[in-house]
Structure 1
């Protein structure tokens, strides 16, 4: 059983979080998910979806997988040293780290992606890549894997990445079962990126 800790913040992109959560949540025998924020309490997504979170300091289970969504909230958090330190601590302790969209900007700013390959949302590409010149940014990719880090492109790409992670842990057939269950057309090849523009 893997414990996923989703680190959320106000103005996160709704699908960045709930897309992967739907995929992992389809396998309750393998994954449990805990939602955390810096102070705990109610966090609201960009679309004003409220959700209850537990403070990072009060997490019930040890983290195996960190899930970091993106969204407009990341624009302020790249300047929040306390948040970045907390993110660094979580990622250091985790076996895997997954980011969606501009969530990789937070990882990059914290320094944990130094020397790593990573990707992010095409629509925010310039802003994200300016957060660190120590990252080998890959623009043409649905998602990128480097060691324990999985970073995905924009919004819905997080679903493809989550299924890719499931395939890596439990086999491609299991990932296709989840895709079938959710009626999702999985882009299995992470190098095929329909949204890349040279």
Structure 2
């Protein structure tokens, strides 16, 4: 079983029954961001926030003012697949205005950060205030997530230097150009749904952000919760980071990638008595073997979500007054007549 350090801590918390420490996820918004780049992962984050994770989510813009998802005249993909300036407003492009909780100046300490992409990323990449904010937060956060061309802004800020990363395949020529980052500064991976390198997890275009979010929830809070939330959302995520038909569609490959993948280091953690806390600092992939004595944890005293009474990873109530607990799938059983 291959786990990162955060997953080890989440696993230890599960064994001990402790409530996780409070964490804050910040979502950076800018004019012209792609709506689903932010809202897709946010659906995952919102869904886990009230399921024992103690996660708080905040939205951030440069000034703290609301931002729109469209730019009137902006470089974008034309219907024929080429790139160039198009008057999106004249074409009738519709967008939404999203409120921000904080500005760059008053953003609280963040534990995690999500940076979407979108048409506005080609303007935001030259916004020094945003670039400096990202540099500061990259030092602060435990995980730095990007969706689509959000990785180009992170690359321009220099925080992806020496890291593997991916991005939108339709814009790959721009993503890997010197206007984004010096040649060789970022190890761009063409064939990838998402790429995880250290604290940075970057996804391919648009919808891929939801698959990355599912993966991230699994890394930090456990795959049982990630899968349960996917069922609640009625979403079937792609679980293979190498699944990427769009790289083939655009004729891209990883042939030039030469950076070796580190070999996992075996680490054995033996739990002999609960409660227990496991603390570890991990700088590269490790193989973790855990053994523990069986302990019985009482059901949570709260009401079952959506009438849930069972399923893989479920520790809540299993009794259904006056009805039966029926199996929907291996992740979800529900009280029903």
User: What is the TM-score normalised by the length of structure 1?
Assistant: 0.96
Partner of 1:69: 116
Name which of 152, 160, 166 aligns with 1:119: 166
Give the match's secondary structure for 2:245.
coil
Partners of 1:56 and 1:68 in 2: CA distance = 13
For residues 38 and 149 of structure 1, the distance between their equivalents in structure 2, rounded to whole angstroms, comes to: 22
Determine whether 1:158 maps to 2:209. yes
Q: Post-superposition shift, 1:82?
A: 2.1
Which of 43, 55, 63 matches 1:39?
63
* Deviation of 1:102 (Å): 0.1
The Cα shift of 1:92 comes to: 1.4
- Segments of 5+ residues of structure 2 without an aligned counterpart are 1-21, 71-93, 252-337
Which residue of structure 1 lines up, in the alignment, with residue 232 of structure 2?
A: 181
Across the aligned residues of Structure 1 and Structure 2, the Cα RMSD in angstroms comes to 1.1
Residues in 1 aligned to 2:219 and 2:129: alpha-carbon distance in whole angstroms? 33
Q: Which secondary structure does the structure 1 equivalent of 2:167 belong to? A: coil
Question: What is the match of residue 12 of structure 1?
Answer: 33
Cross-structure match for 1:195: 246
How many pairs does the alignment contain? 197
Bigger Cα Rg: 2
2:224 and 2:192 mapped to 1: Cα distance?
22
Give the SS at the match of 2:213. helix
Partner Cα distance (2:159, 2:208) in 1: 21
Stretches of 4+ moved more than 3 A in 1? none
Q: Paired residue for 2:103?
A: 55
Distance 1:171 1:85 in 2: 32
Larger deviation, residues 118-127 vs 78-87:
78-87
| Aligned twin of 2:176 | 129
Deviation per CA, 1:54-77: give whole Å up to 9, x if none: 212122x31001100000111011
Match of 2:273 in 1: none
- The offset of 1:4, in angstroms, is 0.6
Which whole-Å CA distance do the structure 2 matches of 1:50 and 1:85 have between them? 24
Give 1:42 shift: 1.0
Unaligned 5+ residue runs, structure 1?
none
Per the alignment, residue 169 of structure 1 pairs with: 220
Report how far residue 194 of structure 1 moved: 2.5
Q: What whole-Å deviation, never above 9, does each CA across 1:74-129 have from its counterpart, x for those lacking one?
A: 10111222221111111111111000000000010111100100000001111111
Is 1:21 equivalent to 2:42 in the alignment? yes
Give, in whole Å, the separation in 2 of the partners of 1:194 and 1:165. Answer: 21
Q: Whose helix fraction is larger, Structure 1's or Structure 2's?
A: 1
Residue 157 of structure 2 is matched in structure 1 by 110
For residue 2 of structure 1, report the CA deviation from its aligned partner.
2.0
Quick one: higher RCO (CA 8 Å, sep 6+), 1 or 2? 1
String of CA shifts for 1:18-74, please: whole Å, max 9, x gaps: 000001110113221100011111111134211111212122x31001100000111
Looking at structure 2, the residues matched to 170 and 66 of structure 1 have their Cα atoms a distance apart, in angstroms, of: 16
Give the match for residue 85 of structure 1.
132
Secondary structure, in 3 states, of the residue corresponding to 2:129? helix
Q: Return the TM-score normalized by structure 2.
A: 0.57
Select 2:148's aligned residue among 97, 101, 114: 101
